[in-house]
Structure 1
C-alpha cells in the first residue's frame, strides 16, 4: 500500500510539473526556444533538416540561419549571414536555400548540404531617404523545373524579381503587382505564378513571359489584405490568408470565384498539405494555428502557441508541421526571451 501511495504521489507530482512548466501540455506538440528575430522556415528533404532564418534581433549587422534537427529541434549548425535574414525557401532538387534579406534589399543563396553561404544578390540597392523607400524582398518561391527563384518586392507599386537559381543573376522584373504585393506561389506544371496584395487582388503571372496575365479583385468591395497564398495545383484552388478579415478565402484559380470563406481569426501564413488534404494557418494575434480539412473546410484542430505564430514548414512525409513563434515586443521594448520553433505531429 505504501509503495502504491508513493507511486501515485510521484505520478501526480510529475503531471503537475509538466502542466505548469514552459513545455506544452500535449505530447504531440513540442516547443524549442532558438534565438531572437526568428522569421521563416524551410525544410530540406534530402538533408532531413529544418532551417530557420533569423535577424538575431538588433544585435550586430548580420543574421543567422539555424539548421535544426526535425525530431528534437536541437540546433545542429549555426550559419552566420552578412545580412539580416527574414524570408526562406529551398530548392529540394539542388538543396540550395534562398534567404531574403529584407532590410538590405537582397537575396542570399546558401548550400544547405554544407551550410555555407554561396552568393548574395542585391535586388534594390537604392538608399533609403525621406522621399524614397526602396522595395523590400518579402516572400520567396522556387520553380524546381526551371530553377528560377521568385521574390516579391514590397512597395506602393510592388514587383516580382526573377532570379536564376544557379548563378543568382537577375533574369527579369515583373512590375506593378499592386500595393504591398506580399503573397507568392508558383505552379510549375502550368507555368503560372500567383501574387496577392494589400488591395485584395490575385495577380496571375506567366513564368514563360514574366508578364502579368490577369489581376482580379477577389470578394468584391470588401476590404482585404491577402498576406500569403497556398496552392492546390491539382484541384486548382488558392487559399488566401487575410490580415483584415477573420477568414481564409478559398478561390477557384480558373475563374477567380470564391469557393468558400473559412471562418477563422485574421491570418498570416498558410500552407496546403496535398497528402492529407489539410490546410494549416497561423493566426498571429490569436496566438494559435488552425488545422483545417480542405474537403469540408471545417477546422479540425486549434493549436495554441507560446507566443505569436509566424511561418510554417512541412516535413517531407507530410506528417509533421513546424511553426516559427515570435515573442511579443516592439522597437522600444524588444522581447527579452528568444523566439522559438514549434513541432506539431499531424
Structure 2
C-alpha cells in the first residue's frame, strides 16, 4: 500500500529530524538545480568532491564489487523511486546505477560486500540488492504504526553476520527496532519501548550487545540473544539531548555518541559503567567514525559545514575540512586509506533537496 501524501510528509519530516539531516528550519522555495557533475572536483590536499544527485544519504564500500555504493532518495519534484549509485572508490566516477522503485536512505553490507541492505524510510521498506549484479534480491515492508497513527520509518540498518540478523531502527514515538532474518528478509522479532525515534545502531559482537541511540537522549543496551533492553544510559546532567550516531572502541571500553541538539557535543560513555566520562566541546555533531590504526575519530558538523579529525586519545582536533553546506555520513575504506563523506543540502518546503548533494573522498595516507 502506498502511503498517503500526509503520511509521506510526516515520515519525511520525522526521518529528517531523526537523521539530523538538512535543516527544516531553513527550508526554502525550490531554486534552479545544476546538472550533476560527471567527474569529481579536485580540492586541496588530494580531496575529491563530486556533485552527484539530490537526495544523497549514506555511502558504503563493497570489497566484492570494488565500489563505493551511495544511496539516494532522488529528492526532486515529480520523481518516483531512488537510485543506488556505484562509484569508483578512487575517482568517484559513476560505474553503474540501480534504479529502485522505492527511495533509498541507509545502507549496510555483509563482510564481503556482496549484498547491500537498504532502508526505504518514507515507504517503510527494507530491500536487499546484489552488489555485483545490481539486482533486487528481496524486500520487507514494515506495517507497524506509531502512537499518532502514522507508519514508522526505517532509519539505520546494521547486520550481525554471525547470526544472520539485521537490526533496523524505527523512527516514530515510541521508537522500536525490527529484528530481521538477513537471508529471507522475514521479521523475527520487534523490540519495543525504545524511546522517541531510534536513530543510531551499533553492534558489539564480543559482548553480545546492540547499542541504540534515541531522541530521548538515551543509549539503549540490548542483549542480542534475548533482545531484551538491559540498560538505558543517559548523560545524567539534566540537559536535553537528541542522540544520533555511535562509534565504539572495544579496546578502551569507550562508546562515542553524537548529539545535534542543545548538547551539541560528542559524549564518551564507559561501556563498563554506562557513565559519561567526557563531553567533547566540538559543537553540533552528527556522523562519527573511529579509525583505530590512526587513533583518529572523525565527526561531521552539519551546522558548521565541516568534518573534523580528532586524536582518539587526547581528543585534540588534528584537522578540519570545510565541506558546506551540511556534511552528513561517514565511511572509512576497508584499507583505512580514505574517508568518504556525504554532503547534504537544505530541504525545500516540499522536502525535496534544494541543490545537488555530494560525495567527498578524503585521502588518509
Equivalent residues in 2 for 1:79-118, closer than 5 Å: 79-93=98-112, 95-118=114-137
1:39 maps to which of 45, 52, 57: 57
Cα distance in 2 for partners of 1:161, 1:265 equals: 32
The 1:274–1:147 alpha-carbon spacing in structure 2 relative to 1, beyond 3 Å, is farther
1:255-299 CA distances to partner (integer Å, 9 max, x unpaired)? Answer: 111122111121111111222221111111110101111111111
Cα distance in 1 for partners of 2:256, 2:201 equals: 11
Name the counterpart of 1:51. Answer: 69
Q: Is the 8 A contact 1:93 1:144 kept in 2?
A: no
Q: Secondary structure at the match of 1:27?
A: helix
TM-superposed CA distance for 1:131, in Å, is 4.6
Cα distance in 2 for partners of 1:85, 1:147 equals: 22
Name the counterpart of 1:13. Answer: none
1:163 maps to which of 172, 180, 187: 180
TM-superposed CA distance for 1:171, in Å, is 1.0
Q: Is the 8 A contact 2:144 2:152 kept in 1?
A: no
Name the counterpart of 2:31. Answer: none
Matched, 1:292 2:310: yes
Q: Is the 8 A contact 2:155 2:171 kept in 1?
A: yes
Cα distance in 1 for partners of 2:181, 2:91 equals: 34
Gaps of 5+ in 1: 1-21
Name the counterpart of 1:28. Answer: 46
Name the counterpart of 2:275. Answer: 257
The 1:103–1:289 alpha-carbon spacing in structure 2 relative to 1, beyond 3 Å, is same
Equivalent residues in 2 for 1:11-26, closer than 5 Å: 23=41, 25-26=43-44
With structure 2 as the length reference, what TM-score do the two structures score? 0.84
Name the counterpart of 2:334. Answer: 316
TM-superposed CA distance for 1:144, in Å, is 2.0
Structure 1 residues 22-31 or 182-191, which shifts more? 22-31
- Give the aligned length: 323
Cα distance in 2 for partners of 1:154, 1:336 equals: 24
Q: Is the 8 A contact 1:105 1:125 kept in 2?
A: no
Equivalent residues in 2 for 1:258-277, closer than 5 Å: 258-277=276-295
Equivalent residues in 2 for 1:159-308, closer than 5 Å: 159-244=176-261, 245-308=263-326
Cα distance in 2 for partners of 1:334, 1:106 equals: 20
Structure 1 residues 328-337 or 200-209, which shifts more? 328-337
Cα distance in 2 for partners of 1:24, 1:306 equals: 15
Q: Secondary structure at the match of 1:189?
A: helix
Cα distance in 2 for partners of 1:74, 1:312 equals: 18
Name the counterpart of 1:343. Answer: 361
Cα distance in 1 for partners of 2:47, 2:228 equals: 43
Q: Is the 8 A contact 2:63 2:113 kept in 1?
A: no
TM-superposed CA distance for 1:23, in Å, is 4.0
Structure 1 residues 255-264 or 71-80, which shifts more? 255-264
Q: Secondary structure at the match of 1:153?
A: strand
Q: Is the 8 A contact 1:280 1:292 kept in 2?
A: yes
With structure 1 as the length reference, what TM-score do the two structures score? 0.89
| Higher RCO by CA contacts (8 Å cutoff, separation 6 or greater) | 2
Cα distance in 2 for partners of 1:45, 1:229 equals: 23
Name the counterpart of 2:157. Answer: 140
1:149 maps to which of 166, 182, 195: 166
1:69 maps to which of 88, 100, 106: 88
Cα distance in 1 for partners of 2:42, 2:301 equals: 18
